[in-house]
Chain A
Amino acid sequence: MPALISHAEFSKDFYLFLCPILFTIGAVGLMIRKNMIVMLMCIELMLNSVNLLLVSFANFFGQGDAHIFVFFIVVVAAAEATVGLSIILMAFRNLRSIDVDMFKKLKN
């Protein structure tokens, strides 16, 4: 793999593999972990894997349009993290736990 990471030549293929792997890690982490903070981090991971893909393609095609999307996503992710963290905070205050399965209580 060292050849792939070489700084001199940019390899599209490297990012084409890296991003889905990061995304999958995020998605699987979201499904199997119960800790809400970790889940939030997984979501961030998925968002940023997409960002990375966008940026790398922008670089590859030599066009800057995708950067706009990336900025949007970063802003939205920040907002989402704020809201998510405050929800987690409130949940912890009420339930003394940040286990996501505690939300089962909302079902009935």
Chain B
Amino acid sequence: MTNEQLLYLILLLPLAGAAINGIFGKKLSEKLIGTIGTLMVAIPFLTAASIFASFDKPIHVHAFTMLEMDSFRLDAGFKLDSLSLWMTMIITGIGSLIHIFSIGYMHDDKGFYKFFTYLNLFVFSMLILVLGDNYMMLFFGWEGVGVCSFLLIGFHYADKIKGMENSLAARKAFIMNRIGDLGLLVACFLLLGKFGTLNYDQIGIATILGEFQKDSVFMISVTLSLFLAATGKSAQIPLFTWLPDAMAGPTPVSALIHAATMVTAGIYLTIRSNFLFELAPFTQHIILFIGLATALVAAFIAMKQNDIKKVLAYSTVSQLGFMFVALGLGAYTVALFHVTTHAFFKALLFLGSGSVIHANHHEQDITKMGGLKKYMPTTHLVFLVGTLAISGFPFLSGFFSKDEIFAAAFGHGYLVFGLMVLAAAMTTTYMFRMYFLVFHGTFRGDSHTEKHLHESGSLMTLPLIVLAILSVIGGALNLPSFLAGDHAHWMNHFLEETTLGLALVHPHHLEDGTAIGIMIGTTLITLSLIFWAYSVYAKTNYPISKEQQFKGWAEWSSNKLYIDELYNALFVKPTEFISARLLMIVDKNLLYDSILKLTSGIQIGGNQVRKIQTGMLSNYLYFMIVGVILFVGYSLYYFKFWNY
């Protein structure tokens, strides 16, 4: 098959999977549904890998023209360059592992077929998002993943205890994403007005060749709108509060959508639009600032969360902040490197936590766990690997990707660098607090749960092991120059080769000596924090009440800095207040009453007019003849008949 046909295969198989499971799923067995769902993502992964093996130039496919007006054309076209190929491999690769995990995790769920339908539909939308060759295709995918995210967060909307909470979380995610989507639409319109096209290549070439002024009002407004879209999807300040709530969804969903793939769409968008951002240093500073603030705030909140998934959710927000710092510094390939490694270890951690939650009868409170090491050896091992990787333990994947970001930050200035190291240190602290509380010490839950603690089945542990291996070796994709010599920064080169604009961006590179120094320094911090956490949290008789009642700064952390309360007071409550008033005044009084009056008026008039319908033929004739006379008389008068 040609590469074009392979591209269609990648795109359409997940859609076919969603269609099959959605239409016939009710009648199929769980095994069959799971197999179809997984294959429809795994085959695209293998296809993408085969393209990757012999990839040398971008593939363009023009599917059809969606809209054509005199000077404006909207094409459904696809583009496979190194960036979208890389994203495709992450999405389908991690996606198929998570599909396998879900077969075990969702076992015996009433909505089993629905779950796989939504997951496949999500993969399809995400592929549209990364494979489209213009902003409109990206927008379609963007909305598609938003819908799937909504459906999957509120997946257990009918749950007796948590149903309402799940639905509200889904609604919150959807509405907050709408705010970001508005930014994307505005950016599309601005670009369309200026360039007359939405195609990446055409806009990119126009910006690179055309001598645009840096920081022009146009560039700043476009890039800020795009960044607003990115903050919505990628959960940055001020639109990040939906992501922790989104943990109401089943755990595989959190792993796939809210950690590994969908939330990185904002980063993909920024990398894709790098030629625009390079022309707006002002926006880059804003991105840097927002990314840094998000990394710190989310890490701070994660310090004292007791829900295992909430810790991971805030950790995701914080790591996304890291990526945005890289983007703000112009280090696009570094951001994508962190996206990749983060996808490995965060999917691992989420699936690991899913395994833990599964074993604990859906208890998510880490203060009610403990000592799980001896009950779930495999899960414990892979979870430890994930925790080490995210903390930046030497030579695991997170170590290298974070180090690249540190290096970029170091080149920019000491303040940014220092704050990044602080955020990373907090990451280590909260991750190991959670790890030790869950797997070390003694079990603190009820005895009934303790009796049933068990290692998860092989369908669940197998993806975990694969992800753990990836988390360990993932750093090899982009080794620093003093470790790999000529083969260093393989991923950077791969991306720069065919992705438009990336080869033109060259952030500051450090001397080998400085880079090694930074590595050693951060490693020392990480190691000492791990030992500190071990000495505090791993004790068998650790007073857990300390983790249930918080004082001082911990109170702020455990209450999420009261940001939800702030948003409630600032936006939700006033909106509800105005809506209630509008409902009373405009809807009930004005609209409803006026319509009532109108209908009663018509009724009264109708009653009067009805009287002339007597049923007497002679009356009708009389009306008719009077009418004819009037009509003829008027015509005579109007045409001045007597003049002829």
Contacts and interface: CB of A to CB of B under 8 A. Distances in A.
Interface string A30-42: 1110100000000
Given A27-B625, A31-B622, A100 B615 contact: no
A72 to B, nearest CB: 21
B613 to A, nearest CB: 7
A105 B614 CA distance: 10
Given A27-B625, A31-B625, A104 B614 contact: yes
B613 A100 contact: no
Interface residues of A, number: 12
Interface string B617-628: 110011001000
B617 A100 contact: yes
Contacts of A103: 615, 617
B625 A101 contact: no
A31 B618 contact: yes
Interface in B245-278: none
B32 to A, nearest CB: 64
A32 B618 CA distance: 7
Interface in A56-108: 100-101, 103-107
A37 to B, nearest CB: 14
A53 B174 CA distance: 80
Interface in B596-626: 613-618, 621-622, 625
A107 B618 contact: no
Contacts of A105: 615
B620 to A, nearest CB: 10
B458 to A, nearest CB: 80
A72 B389 CA distance: 100
B611 to A, nearest CB: 12
Contacts of B622: 31
A31 B616 contact: no
Contacts of B616: 101, 104
A34 B618 contact: yes
For chain B, which range describes its interface: under 10, 10 to 19, 20 to 34, or 35 or more residues? under 10
A92 B615 CA distance: 18
Contacts of A106: 615
Nearest to A106: B615
Nearest to A36: B617
Main secondary structure on B side of the interface with A: helix
Interface string A9-52: 00000000000000000010011101000000000000000000
Contacts of B625: 27, 31
Contacts of A100: 617-618
Contacts of A30: 618, 621
A14 to B, nearest CB: 22
Nearest to B625: A27
Nearest to A39: B617
B618 A104 contact: no
Nearest to A104: B615
A74 B621 CA distance: 22
A34 B618 CA distance: 8
Nearest to A34: B618
A105 B615 CA distance: 8
Contacts of A104: 614-616
Nearest to B617: A100
A107 B613 contact: yes
A31 B629 CA distance: 15
A75 B614 CA distance: 33
A105 B622 CA distance: 20
A105 B621 CA distance: 18
A31 B622 CA distance: 7
A31 B626 CA distance: 12
A39 to B, nearest CB: 8
A25 to B, nearest CB: 13
B641 to A, nearest CB: 15
A30 B621 CA distance: 8
A30 B616 CA distance: 12
Contacts of A34: 618
A107 B621 contact: no
A45 to B, nearest CB: 14
Contacts of A27: 621, 625
A85 to B, nearest CB: 16
Contacts of B621: 27, 30-31
A106 B617 CA distance: 11
Contacts of B614: 104, 107
Contacts of B613: 107
A97 B498 CA distance: 97
A70 B32 CA distance: 83
Interface string B437-470: 0000000000000000000000000000000000
Interface string B513-544: 00000000000000000000000000000000
B453 to A, nearest CB: 81
A67 B443 CA distance: 113
24 contacts: A27-B621, A27-B625, A30-B618, A30-B621, A31-B618, A31-B621, A31-B622, A31-B625, A32-B618, A34-B618, A100-B617, A100-B618, A101-B616, A101-B617, A103-B615, A103-B617, A104-B614, A104-B615, A104-B616, A105-B615, A106-B615, A107-B613, A107-B614, A107-B615
Interface of A: 27, 30-32, 34, 100-101, 103-107
Shortest 8 CB-CB contacts between residues of A and residues of B: A107-B615, A104-B615, A100-B617, A31-B618, A31-B621, A31-B622, A30-B621, A27-B625
Given A27-B621, A32-B618, A104-B614, 8 more contacts: A31-B621, A31-B622, A31-B625, A101-B616, A103-B617, A104-B615, A107-B613, A107-B614
